[in-house]
Amino acid sequence: MKDFNRLLSYVRPFWIIFLIALVAMVLGALFETATLALLVPIVDQFVKVPGVASSTLFDLNKLIPKDDWYYAWLTISLLLLVFTIAKGICEYFSSYLMSKIGQSAIYRLRTQLYDHLVEQSTAFFERHRTNFLVSRIVVSCSAIETAVTANLRDLLREGCMLIAMFGAAFYYNWRLTLGAIVIAPIIGILTTKFSRRLRKYAEESFEGNKLLTDATQETLSNLTIVKAYRGEERERTRFGKIAWFIAKANLRSGQTAALSPPTIDIVGVLMISLLLYFGLREINEARMDAAQFFAFLAALFRSYDPMRKISRQHNEITRAFAAAKDVWNILDETDVISEKPDAVSLAPLEQAIKFNDVSFSYQGTTIPVLHNIDLTVPKDSIVALVGESGGGKSSLIKLVQRMYDVTGGSITWDGVDLRDATLAGLRQQIALVTQETVLFNDTVRYNISYGKPDATDDQIKDAARIAFADEFIDKLPNGYDTVVGERGSMLSGGQRQRIAIARAILVDAQVLILDEATSALDTESERLVQKALANLTRDKTTIVIAHRLSTIRRADTIVVMDKGRIIERGTHDELMRLNGKYRRLYEYQFAEEGSADTLEVNAS
């Protein structure tokens, strides 16, 4: 019931449309009942008692001529046509309006879920796999969409029809109807049992689909490795096991769903068989005539169709609740970087970014990854972070962007604690170029202007020119309107890097965070990327995880990190004279490269 109420909360804003749809359903059920009520005058035409007409619902018998069979049949035919057309109109409006409600409700749910995910912190996405979250937006919301758009509509429509048919049956003979109602608790118990089993199997199926999405994405995105290590058979086996798990859950669900309607049919037919006997007694005792008895049976038989459909729709809604449970779990889990009510918007950097005795541990662990970091990054300076993998370099730059909050100490921006600043204000002042170049499956223009959507064409082209990307962009099939493919797959590594640099140039933020790519490029691409980076860092406060010698030598301060601590700092020449960790790193990396341009030190 809790899940049902929560699902209905997305429907409540459209209660006026819902009320109109419900009225259309009620009218449709009444027109269907009126059509059934015409069975009495139809039977009267065959079992004719001159001058006498059996009473029926809505006093329709008064509209039928009693002594003129031609006009009687003509009137019955016209009424059947009118009632059928009216019922069709009501069904059209009820279906359309419920579909409108369903689509609007699911739109709200999907956007709420997406907005919720976008607001979460980096720690949230470290706990949940991307494929799982995508599956909740696509697969689970689609199941809920079907429940609201189709299943809820049919449940209400058939419920109105069931009430109307029982009302008609009660009108013709209340004694027989009360006897028939005895079946309701039996059907209710059966439906509940079937629903519980279906929900269990549906939850297994949704869990399997989540695993299947993960397995498929992993295999297809890493297909080069799979083929290189001859892992095709292993991946086929893994995929097959998960697919069979889903198939078994769906098979058991289908078995239960297939068993439900015939079981209810059997119970219903048994009850009707008894009613036939008691109905004959009612006719013999003149409590009803043959025409009314036929109409009573028709209403009763017609009521069992809604019963079966309600049972089926209840089963489908039960499956949707299993999907809704996954969505609610995501919506109920919140892990955001909070802002203070009086948070300030940061002004452009004027003095320095300072790390004051900063310590940091990732959520769920007590092991620090950063220990007592004290570091000053003056305005317009370049600070290069170097060190072996796991040294804490990546964690440090994430703290500057407030992807996480420090667990000890503070980071200040011109004396303002980052925790006292708005997130939007902070991130507006920072441009980011990541080690793995991230491009969207859209045009070159879209990717360059991602940080500044209102940029003019001239500004976009200027940024591309400064990043030395304009020449190759002009040679693309559609220039700046060329779609770059998934993750920029249509471009070379150097081209992707230059577009990412152009994106950062266009933002024109005062502070630049750069995690240099470690991937090797051809000589010409490397030269262009280096020139683009030089343009990007000019007159910028830059914190860079450095992998290239040219970057390290250009840095005002080199910070050597090891196991979450700063163990050395200074210029290149100062650190070489110190004859410590930096010199060993330098000699190890460049022993055979001499004056090579790249310092291959893995980022943490």
Task: Write the pLDDT tens digit of every residue in 173-231.
Answer: 888 888 777 776 777 777 777 777 777 787 788 778 777 877 887 777 677 677 766 77
Contact (Cβ atoms closer than 8 angstroms) between residue 481 and residue 443: yes
> What is the pLDDT, as a whole number, of residue 343?
87
Q: Can you list the pairs that 55-60 forms with residues at least 24 positions away whose Cβ atoms lie under 8 Å?
A: 55/292, 56/291, 56/292, 56/295, 57/33, 57/168, 57/171, 58/34, 60/34
Kindly state the average pLDDT of the residues 526-541.
79
> What's residue 594's pLDDT?
47
Is pLDDT above 90 for 88? yes
Predicted confidence (pLDDT) at residue 101 exceeds the cutoff of 50: yes
Supply the pLDDT for residue 593: 45
**Which pLDDT score, from 0 to 100, does residue 589 have?**
63
Which residues are CB-neighbours of 216 under 8 A, at least 6 positions away? 239
Place 55 in a pLDDT band, splitting at 50, 70 and 90.
confident
Q: Which of 107, 95, 101, 116 is nearest to 142 (CA)?
A: 107
pLDDT tens, residue by residue, 336-355? 778 888 888 888 888 999 99
- Each residue of 232-282: pLDDT tens digit? 888 888 888 888 988 888 888 888 878 877 877 787 777 777 777 777 777
Statement: residue 81 has pLDDT above 90: yes
Asked if 315 and 154 touch (Cβ cutoff 8 Å), the reply is no
Dump pLDDT digits (tens) for 126-148.
777 777 788 778 777 877 877 77
- Start-end of CATH 1.20.1560.10 domains in the chain: 2-332
pLDDT tens digits along 377-412? 998 888 989 888 888 888 898 898 888 888 899 999
Band (47; pLDDT cuts 50, 70, 90) = low
pLDDT, one tens digit per residue, over 317-335 is 777 777 778 788 888 887 7
* Separation CA 14–CA 98 (nearest Å): 10
> In the prediction, which pLDDT does 30 show?
92
Instruction: Please tell me whether residue 366 adopts helix, strand or coil conformation.
Output: coil
Place 487 in a pLDDT band, splitting at 50, 70 and 90. confident
CATH numeric code, 436-508: 3.40.50.300
> What pLDDT sits at residue 592?
43
- Residue range 493-506: average pLDDT? 85
- Average predicted confidence (pLDDT) for the chain: 81
pLDDT of residue 509: 83
What integer pLDDT is reported at residue 597 of this predicted model? 43
In terms of DSSP bridges, do strands 565-570 and 557-562 run parallel, antiparallel, or are they unpaired?
Answer: antiparallel
Give the residues across from 515 on adjacent strands. Answer: 545
Q: Which of 400, 337, 420, 406 is nearest to 371 (CA)?
A: 406
374 secondary structure, DSSP code: E
% of the chain exceeding 70 in pLDDT: 91
Q: Report phi then psi at 344, rounded to 5.
A: -105, 155
What is the DSSP secondary structure assignment for residue 480, as one 8-state letter?
G
**Does residue 1 have a pLDDT over 70?**
no
Domain with CATH 3.40.50.300 in the chain: 436-508
pLDDT tier at 48, thresholds 50, 70, 90:
low
Indicate if the pLDDT at residue 432 is higher than 90. Answer: no
CB 523 within 8 A of CB 596: no
Q: Is the pLDDT of residue 365 over 60?
A: yes
Residue 84: per-residue pLDDT: 92
- pLDDT reading at 149 higher than 80: no
What is the band of 521 on the pLDDT scale with cuts at 50, 70, 90? Answer: low
How much is the pLDDT for 250?
A: 85
pLDDT of residue 87: 92
Give phi and psi for 459, each to the nearest 5.
Answer: -65, -40
Which CATH number does the domain 2-332 belong to among 3.50.50.60, 1.20.1560.10, 3.40.50.10470, 3.40.50.2000? 1.20.1560.10
pTM: 0.66
Binned at pLDDT 50, 70 and 90, residue 301 comes out as confident
pLDDT band at 600 (very low <50, low <70, confident <90, very high): very low
**300, 247, 305: which is closest to 278 by C-alpha?**
300
Residues near 536 by beta carbon (within 8 Å), at least 6 away in sequence: 433, 466, 467, 501, 504, 505, 512, 514
* Region of poorest pLDDT, from 379-393, 499-513, 533-547: 533-547
Band of residue 596 on the pLDDT scale cut at 50, 70, 90: very low
